[in-house]
Amino acid sequence: MRRVVPVVPLLAVGAFAIGTDTFVVAGVLPEVARTLRVSVASAGWVSTVFALAYAVAAPVLGALTGRLERRTVLAISLVGFTLGNVASALAPDLPLLLLARVLTAVSAALYVPAASASAAALAPPERRGRAMAVVLGGLSAATVVGVPFGTWVAADLQWRVTFWLLAAVGAACAVAVAVGLPALRLPSGPGLAVRLAPVRETRVGLAVLTTALFMTGGYLALTYVGALLAPATDGDGTVLAVLLLVFGVPAVAGTVLGGRATDRWGALPVLLVAVAGLAVVLATLPLTRQALVPAGLAMAVWGVTAMATQPAQQHRLFAIAPGSGPLLLSLNSSATFVGIALGGFLGNRLLRHGGVDALDLLGPVGAALCVLALCTALLGARTGNRPDRPVGAAGEPARPAPDGAATGASPR
């Protein structure tokens, strides 16, 4: 076991790099547009293509690589991640940058679930939850440290340097995994058809649609946050990095508060309050983005409300079908990235047709999508004889848990 001790933090570093790579583009988008001589709307495809590739690849690669040895899977994913970032840093034009982002996204989609599963398998049974939390904590840390740092680097040096740094971290992790991770095989996971089967449950479909809607609403604005907050930052990348830090720290707090509130008051009330709060933030962005202080307050509330949705939504999915919990969370992850992709795409359409003036529409349109998410959440809760009643693996109703109590394993 002594050989395994440093492995879990190592896997978390890889998750940190991937989390930073996933979200940092929003902060460097104006610089990417200027360097490649394209509009901000066109540069938004960099985020959209990454998210869409991740959403499609995650369940497919999970099914195709389930029988492979984990060290091999992790090493391959990190090598692909490294090459994707090298290609991103070297890309001379937008089409080649988009191809590079596809390679990076596919590699990231392979790494995260494999790293979480490996951490759990390598830890003693009584420490498996904490081991998985350490790995996933790398993703959370990316929003607090990685994204603001990457944005600051892009502002003071160049956006390509951010991708070079991520490539260096990926390469170091690949070598460390190949040398330090013991050979590990896990029981074969279910095939792709089995992974997608739970969607036939109406409440599952509505829950996943809810995630896609509020993520689309949020990322309609967040994808273009650099341009959106330009009146408050005067185009200063360092100030933008500070605002992203103001977003990231409350985002982590929002995850914790959302989990505790879910345990106390139940998943649906917390989800409704969080999504409603997110809608208010987005609807008022045309006002708050004009000056630094209101923009900072908006980013802080945005971070809390956006991330408070996650524990509540994951809890709801576990409660719907405890026996299929991991599969449902995989689908929810795909819905998250579908939402990120759609947000970038819809924002692109708005900016392409409306120009700079359309920046004021991004928040309100996103708020409208969050209102639709509230409707689908309520509809899902009312589906069936008992709202949010757990469904067993065979589709039979399970014994309902007391109000506010967790059903099945905790997703946090």
Predicted confidence at residue 276, as pLDDT, reads 96
Phi and psi at residue 149, to the nearest 5°: -65, -45
pTM, 2 dp: 0.71
CA–CA distance from 235 to each of 42, 239, 307 (Å)? Answer: 19, 8, 27
Q: What parts of the chain have a pLDDT lower than 50? A: 1-5, 384-412
Cβ atoms 20, 147 nearer than 8 A: yes
Tokens at residue 45, please? 């495809």
At 118, the amino acid letter reads S
How crowded is residue 218: how many other Cβ atoms within 10 Å of its Cβ?
28
The H or E element containing residue 379 is helix 359-382
Sign of CA dihedral 383, 392, 370, 410: positive
- Using alpha carbons only, how large is the chain's radius of gyration in Å? 20
Phi and psi at residue 5, to the nearest 5°: -50, -50
Predicted confidence at residue 127, as pLDDT, reads 63
Q: What is the DSSP string of 203-225?
A: HHHHHHHHHHHHHHHHHHHHTTH
The residue among 235, 246, 213 whose CA lies nearest residue 342 is: 213
Delimit the CATH 1.20.1250.20 region(s) of the chain. Answer: 1-189, 194-407
Predicted confidence at residue 375, as pLDDT, reads 95
Per-residue three-class SS string for 4-57: CCCHHHHHHHHHHHHHHHHHCHHHHHHHHHHHHCCCHHHHCHHHHHHHHHHHHH
Torsion, Cα of 247, 249, 255, 261 (10° steps): -100
- CATH domain 1-189 topology: Growth Hormone; Chain: A; (1.20.1250)
How crowded is residue 233: how many other Cβ atoms within 10 Å of its Cβ?
22
Burial class (CB in 10 A: 0-12, 13-18, 19+), 394: exposed
Predicted confidence at residue 387, as pLDDT, reads 39
Tokens at residue 85, please? 């970032």
Tell me the C-alpha distance between 367 and 277, whole Å. Answer: 10
Task: Measure CA 132 to chain center.
Answer: 16
3-class secondary structure, 403: coil
Predicted confidence at residue 194, as pLDDT, reads 66
Predicted confidence at residue 187, as pLDDT, reads 58
Tell me the C-alpha distance between 312 and 378, whole Å. Answer: 14
Tell me the C-alpha distance between 306 and 22, whole Å. Answer: 16
Cβ atoms 181, 304 nearer than 8 A: no
Predicted confidence at residue 90, as pLDDT, reads 94
**Per CATH, the architecture of 194-407 is what?**
Up-down Bundle (1.20)
Predicted confidence at residue 130, as pLDDT, reads 60
Residue with tokens 């014994």: 399
